[in-house]
Amino acid sequence: MIFMNTLKYLQIHEYLLDVDLWRLFANLEELTQTSLGFVNSLFGIIKDYVDTSETSSSLDFISVLTKYFQGSLCQSHQTYCLNYSAAIFYLESLRQRDDFGIYLKWCEHNEQCRRLHLPELLVAPLQRLTRYPLLLKNIWKRSMDSAEKIMIYSIKEKVEKSIRDLEGKVKWLDNFQKFRYLQEIIVWPPLWDRDKRFFVPECLKHIFKEHTAENILSPTNRHLLYEGKLTLAESTRFLDAYLFLFNDFLLVTKTKRNKKKLGGSDPGLMCPSLTPELQAVIREGGSCTVLDQPIPLDRLVVKSIEPLHLSVFGLRNAFLIQHENRYRQCIAAFLLQAQTENIKKTWMAQITTAISCFTRNQETKKISLFTLPTESSEI
């Protein structure tokens, strides 16, 4: 609240006007009031019990627990938590500015902040939400009334479900935002640009309708399992490559920088779950251009290359990726170099595991498709 109120004061006096309060603090005021109301109600019940201990035999927590946990408390936390990851990333982009840095330092010197920085304070509501089931469990253990115990346990179950739902929403939101940015940064060159052997006259190019990136990179159809920066060896040069391993195909791209900036490349608007390498590409207005085509996992072969075979080329930690067609003929090959031997082993393990999972899922689908119902004993 110290950070938020100070920022409000500065903006009233026309400083830091471009800083978005909601993107940093979301519904913090509402959450604070709701939490404070809950705490006051809880201690009010305890105070009344102490004051009237001679006439009252037990603590009645049900009314306040029902009011807040089936009301606004969990909902306020969910709204705040869904904004948290974006708020942290937005904060990191603002901290590069001198004027915003002065504002942060001034607030941090306030003794009420106990030398904590803003990121450490912003995470507190998330931590508090996860502690509510523990509070409810302790109240349930100490309750002496059977009906009350059932009600408290039911509330605890609902709060835990709310937390699980929130975790799912946060993961889904991060995944959705990440795929949206991948759609912007990944460039799919047309057929005639991918391979110069294919000549297509200008007047016929409209016939070739490429699948849009929105269809290929859809969070509803596939999941991103692993990604990272590698070096691609060509005959006369080395290229900066970036690989995306999905649950059904591998995408090999080469990174290009200093291009015209893509829409949505404002650092403050980037998805927090993007890797630092991709964030750097976006900030520099670059892109990832797809090489060849996506490699389906059931057509992909990965092989380790022994250092002895490549020492003459100056390659280390290398491995080979082959793309085979349905007739098991190799139609594309990529010689890749990792920064370290451990990174190479990790990549090979990730690809091998993804291929195994994909093959197993395909076999399961075939079995379920062709399995006939059990014959009647009368036939």
Q: Are residues 161 and 298 in the same domain?
A: no
120 and 241 inside one domain: no
Rounded distance between C-alpha atoms, residue 72 and residue 364, angstroms: 44
Do 97 and 178 fall within a single domain? Answer: yes
pLDDT in tens, the chain (379 residues): 999 999 999 999 999 999 999 999 999 999 999 999 999 999 998 888 888 765 655 677 888 899 898 888 889 999 999 999 889 888 988 988 999 999 999 999 999 998 889 998 999 898 889 999 999 999 999 888 888 899 999 999 999 998 999 988 888 888 888 888 898 899 998 888 877 788 888 888 888 766 556 578 877 668 899 999 999 998 888 999 999 999 999 999 999 876 554 444 454 445 667 888 888 888 888 899 999 899 999 999 999 998 776 666 778 899 999 999 999 999 999 999 999 999 999 999 999 999 999 999 998 888 876 665 555 554 4
The pTM score is 0.69
In a domain, 266, yes or no: no
Domain final position from 184, 205, 238:
184
Look at residue 213 and tell me if it is in a domain: no
d(CA 344, CA 321): 12
Same domain, 61 and 178: yes
d(CA 332, CA 330) in angstroms, rounded, equals 6
Whole-number Å distance between alpha carbons of 16 and 1: 17
- Do residues 178 and 312 both lie within one domain? no
Do residues 12 and 60 both lie within one domain? Answer: yes
Give a yes or no: residue 196 inside a domain.
no
Structural domain of residue 99, as residue ranges? 2-184
Structural domains in the chain (count): 2
The answer to whether the beta carbons of residues 281 and 255 sit under 8 Å apart is yes
Claim to verify: residue 135 and residue 237 sit in the same structural domain: no
